[in-house]
Amino acid sequence: MRPVPIRRTDLVTGETTVMDMPCGATLASVCPSCAERKKRLRMTQCREGWHLSEEPILEPDPPNEEQRFLITLRADLEKEHAQAVETGEDTIDIDQLIDEIDAEITRAGMRGKATPEQRTRRVRSTRRRHDAPDLPRRRIDPRTVGRTYASPDGTTFRPSMFVTLTCDSYGKVNPDGTPTDPESYDYQRAARDALHFSKLTDRFVQNLRRVVGYDIQYFASIEPQRRLAPHVHMAIRGAISRAELRQVVAATYHHVWWPPCHQPVYTDQLPIWDEQQDAYVDPKAGAPLPNWDDALDALDADPDTEPVHTVRFGRQVHAEGVLAGSNDASRCLGYLTKYLTKKVDECHEPQTPEQQAHVERLVEALRFEPCSPTCANWLRYGVQPKNPRPDMRPGSCQGKAHRREHLGYGGRRVLVSRKWSGKTLADHKNDRRAWVLALLGIDQPDDDPNRYVWQPIGSDDPAIQPLTRRLLHAVAERARWRQALNQATGQPMPDFSATNPAPPQAA
């Protein structure tokens, strides 16, 4: 719906071609066709990894010329550094070059050398809360595939799980999700739980792996409930007893070890930026505010410090076993991807004044809550944010979680474990493309990727046709593709949605 014009130049022949590329949007409000394509790709990814019977093979791609060059250059610089140290020469320039090469190595898709900030990690006490039950810990078996079971008639099956976890209660709500008593509804805790929900989900997976004793793999999606609290739908490979799931949920929590932010220190007069001190200072005394590291050091020095917030799951745990190819698998797949093409606030759009007021109260509660160490709201609580800038203003943080369309959740909407299907999204996309080409009897193109130069075209370029003509051309081209697929398969291609049976694996 929003084609992006691109000019492709063949460096061998000099030929130039103007073509339209999909915009690649993931939201239906931006581009419904691209969003639906991305959703189908996620459905394929979930389907292929959910019921694997063999361990996925993870093999790194062979290095390209750029990566080989960077690694060789990095090794040569290490030798020069060692020689300079032996001879007593200055190594500052070599160290700077090594840091620049490490940054390039990371940019090229490899793992560079860890920086001092990455190596330094604050360690907190790992003692469990008194109100959280202890969890059994088993030795982790390096497998990701679940167990196989046999029925009395000799039939074997390998079930997997579909699990839904929710946040705790913040007050009694009506069937439409609005609180029965807005004044007593705990909006601050609801806002903080939404801000840190992604950390809680990570901790749940860690605890679950320790309890079940093997490398649990999952495909999860985050979406809001009608009361606007986030909850997670999770497809888990392998079967887990419901008793163990409830035990892990009850024992899972996440402490937020941040400076105190319950009562604001500055409301009328905010800290001001002092260019000479390169820091924010008190508006009256002129003393610089404690920076982020100093504030955390003060927490470490106080043995009686309590976390500023603790986020936990609610008691409601939904878990069901799912078999590959069953109607339940298709239904659960629909739940997992139902809202992926919508913004968080579009999943349950307010229909009544009470629902609209509920949204406004939550957004207002999120306005001054710190969303990260770099959030400008820390100035309101007498702490300089990490990496401060002169233009910071409390209540105006541009962080994702503060935007109305995210309702406090600033993490990724889709969470996929590394060994889920053994493939990336690009791999799944290439599989679909290869399946279509093989079905049509077309050989895979073996052009050198460095042969072409791709350049975006401005809207005033004379080579661009009117949008209506370009869209009609795209519709006609898609119709030709569909006709070719129908002829190749001998029957109309099905609509691979969540309500239909699973298609061929590569489709």
**One domain, residues 223 and 75:** no
Domain assignment of residue 37, yes or no: no
The SS3 of residue 469 is helix
**One domain, residues 204 and 326:** yes
What range does the domain containing 167 cover?
149-416
Q: Which two tokens stand for residue 282?
A: 């008190």
**One domain, residues 352 and 482:** no
**One domain, residues 256 and 321:** yes
**One domain, residues 171 and 234:** yes
For residue 63, what pLDDT is reported? 77
For residue 500, what pLDDT is reported? 42
For residue 490, what pLDDT is reported? 81
**One domain, residues 251 and 383:** yes
The SS3 of residue 338 is coil
**One domain, residues 172 and 70:** no
Domain assignment of residue 126, yes or no: no
Domain assignment of residue 53, yes or no: no
Helical H segments across 17-152, by residue range? 32-50, 65-87, 92-107, 116-119
For residue 122, what pLDDT is reported? 63
Domain assignment of residue 36, yes or no: no
**One domain, residues 406 and 454:** no
Cα gap 204→391, rounded to integer Å: 38
Domain assignment of residue 498, yes or no: no
Other beta carbons within 10 Å of 123: 6
pTM of the model: 0.83
For residue 105, what pLDDT is reported? 79
**One domain, residues 380 and 234:** yes
Residues 502 and 325: beta-carbon distance below 8 Å = yes
Instruction: Fill in the amino acid letter for 90.
Output: D
- Axis crossing angle, helix 32-50 with helix 327-337, rounded to the nearest 10: 130
The SS3 of residue 459 is coil
Q: What is the count of structural domains for the chain?
A: 3
Where does a domain end: 416, 439, 468?
A: 416
What Å distances lie between residue 327 and 5, 331, 507, CA to CA? 42, 6, 19
Give, for all 507 residues of the chain, the pLDDT tens digit.
888 999 999 888 899 988 898 988 999 999 999 999 999 999 999 999 999 988 887 776 677 777 788 888 888 888 888 888 888 777 777 888 888 888 887 777 666 555 454 445 666 655 567 677 788 888 888 899 988 888 888 888 889 999 999 999 999 999 999 999 999 999 999 999 999 999 999 999 999 999 999 999 999 999 999 999 999 999 999 999 999 999 999 999 999 999 999 999 998 899 999 999 999 999 988 899 999 999 999 988 888 888 999 999 999 999 999 999 899 999 999 999 999 999 999 999 999 999 999 999 999 999 999 999 999 999 999 999 999 999 999 999 999 999 999 999 999 999 999 999 988 888 899 888 888 888 888 777 666 767 888 898 887 888 888 889 999 998 998 899 889 888 888 877 665 444 444 443 433
Any bridge partners for residue 5, and if so which? 20
**One domain, residues 248 and 311:** yes
**One domain, residues 313 and 383:** yes
Place of tokens 């996925």: 56
Domain assignment of residue 116, yes or no: no
What Å distances lie between residue 288 and 275, 300, 379, CA to CA? 11, 21, 11
Domain assignment of residue 138, yes or no: no
- Going by C-alpha positions, the residue among 29, 23, 6 that lies closest to residue 347 is 29
**One domain, residues 159 and 250:** yes
Domain assignment of residue 394, yes or no: yes
